[in-house]
């Protein structure tokens, strides 16, 4: 399995098959319970590019890289000024000469693809406006811990049909999660995403997109939400508060789900908007365990992507010839 993942990019959760996702989760759970993943990143340098703010993603990746014996180099939006100071491709052509891989949180998926096209080492999405695959790997690990399964788990996603939701739709289709997306009219996932998820879907697994949470919460295992106003959408905050207001995950909405249902949120949370403090900090919430799982899932992912991969070196002779 590690040979199959070795050296590959993770730009979308759909870059992984079901067995590969299972392998990431198994290795992540093993690491979490004390298993030693060794030092597959020894002597490797990984560049992290953050065009948008981050707490969990940056710190969990830096810690994961350090624990696996590697060295992270973080670059921030205002110093690298992607597309303004230098193109995504030129940035990647340079990083390729120094670093063994790139982890990038970018606005544009197109820029992420351009970086992957110019790097020989693996490129991993740390979120774009289109997807957040590493978040959903940690989410799936959490679902497995909480419910004991992934295939057939009933997950109700309440919120905007954007990046996190998109990775969830693809992951659900690949892994057989019974995913029910609830969003306000006008905030549904794009048609192309729904078509893509339908293509990934195996026989017997399904997902739905609707507007009424009461219709889908009755047998939910997981109630999942994300912010109403994502990074870069700040100018729309007031309108979004009005459009999403009826979908707040509060104690009344949670009472529509079984008492065994667990609440997840990718964080950061806007308490009092998409979720109340009472729910986020309450007994049903697993959000901080979910956040911790970013570390374990990414340690697993990195160890599998770099297992056995030769470290790309560009000798001066090769550059000059
Ligand atoms: N969930 C998540 O990606 O958090 P950060 O934005 O803090 O990295
Ligand atoms: N949808 C959110 C996710 C944050 C982790 C955003 O894009 O800001």
Residue 50 CB partners (closer than 8 Å, separation 6+) = 58, 74, 75, 76, 77, 104, 105, 126
How far is the centre of ligand 1, averaged over its atoms, from the C-alpha of 272 (Å)?
19
Task: Give the model confidence (pLDDT) of 106-128 as tens digits.
Answer: 999 999 999 999 999 999 999 99
Of the pLDDT bands very low, low, confident and very high (cuts 50, 70, 90), residue 311 is low
pTM value > 0.85: yes
pLDDT of amino acid 113:
98
Phi, psi (degrees; rounded to nearest 5) at 278: -60, -40
The three-state secondary structure class of 321 is coil
| CATH topology classification for 133-292 | Rossmann fold (3.40.50)
Measured in angstroms, how far is the CA atom of residue 221 from the centroid of ligand 2? 23
Q: How far is the CA of 291 from the centre of ligand 1 (A)?
A: 9
Instruction: Check pLDDT > 80 for residue 313.
Output: no
What is the average pLDDT across 294-312? 88
| Domains 13-130+294-314 and 133-292 equal at CATH topology level | yes
pLDDT at 299 > cutoff 50? yes
- The secondary structure of the chain in percent helix, strand, coil, rounded to multiples of 5, reads 45, 15, 40
Asked if residue 225 has its Cβ within 6 Å of ligand 2, the reply is no
Assign residue 2 a region: left if phi > 0, alpha if psi is -120 to 50, beta otherwise?
Answer: alpha
Name the residue with tokens 């544009």. Answer: 108
Q: Where are the domains of the chain?
A: 13-130+294-314, 133-292
Q: Does ligand 2 have an atom closer than 6 angstroms to the CB of 231?
A: yes
Q: Whose CA is nearest to atom 3 of ligand 1?
A: 57
Residues paired with 182 in a beta bridge: 158, 210
Helix then strand count (H, E) for the chain reads 14, 9
Rounded distance from Cα 86 to ligand 2 centre (Å) = 25
Judge if the beta carbon of residue 167 lies within 6 A of ligand 1. Answer: no
Assign domain 13-130+294-314 one CATH number from 3.30.420.40, 3.30.1490.190, 3.30.160.110, 3.40.50.1370: 3.40.50.1370
Mutational pocket test of ligand 1: of 62, 127, 128, the residue with most ligand atoms within 8 Å of the beta carbon: 127
Answer yes or no: 266 catalytic.
yes
Strand ranges for the chain from DSSP E: 45-50, 71-76, 101-105, 123-125, 154-158, 178-182, 207-210, 222-225, 262-265
Instruction: Give the ligand with the smallest distance to the CA of 53.
Output: 1
Which ligand 2 atom is nearest residue 162's CA? 1
Q: Nearest CA to 155 among 199, 3, 196, 146?
A: 146
């Amino acid at each position: 399995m590690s040979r199959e993942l070795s050296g590959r990019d993770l730009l979308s959760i759909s870059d992984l098959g079901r067995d590969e996702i299972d392998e990431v989760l198994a290795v992540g759970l093993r690491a979490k319970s004390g298993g030693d993943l060794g030092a597959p990143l020894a002597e490797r340098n990984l560049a992290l590019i953050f065009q948008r703010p981050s707490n969990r993603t940056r710190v969990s990746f830096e810690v994961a890289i350090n624990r696996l014996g590697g060295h992270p180099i973080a670059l921030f939006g205002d110093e690298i000024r992607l597309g303004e100071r230098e193109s995504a491709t030129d940035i990647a052509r340079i990083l390729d000469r120094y670093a063994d891989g790139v982890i990038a949180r970018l606005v544009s998926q197109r820029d992420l693809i351009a970086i992957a096209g110019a790097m020989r080492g693996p490129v991993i999405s740390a979120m774009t406006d289109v997807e957040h695959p590493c978040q959903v790997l940690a989410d799936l690990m959490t679902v497995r811990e909480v419910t004991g399964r992934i295939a057939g788990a009933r997950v109700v996603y309440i919120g905007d049909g954007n990046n996190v939701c998109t990775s969830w739709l693809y992951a659900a289709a690949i892994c057989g999660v019974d995913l029910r997306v609830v969003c306000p009219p006008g905030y549904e996932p794009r048609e192309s995403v729904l078509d893509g998820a339908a293509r990934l879907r195996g026989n017997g697994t399904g997902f739905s997109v609707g507007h009424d949470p009461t219709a889908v919460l009755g047998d939910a295992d997981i109630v999942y939400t994300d912010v109403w106003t994502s990074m870069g959408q700040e100018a729309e905050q007031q309108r979004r508060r009005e459009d999403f207001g009826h979908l707040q995950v509060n104690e009344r909405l949670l009472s529509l789900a079984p008492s065994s249902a667990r609440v997840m949120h990718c964080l950061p949370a806007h308490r009092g908007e998409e979720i109340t403090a009472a729910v986020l900090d309450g007994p049903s919430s697993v959000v901080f365990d979910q956040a911790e799982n970013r570390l374990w899932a990414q340690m697993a992912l990195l160890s599998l992507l770099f297992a056995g991969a030769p470290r790309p070196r560009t000798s001066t002779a090769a550059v000059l010839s």
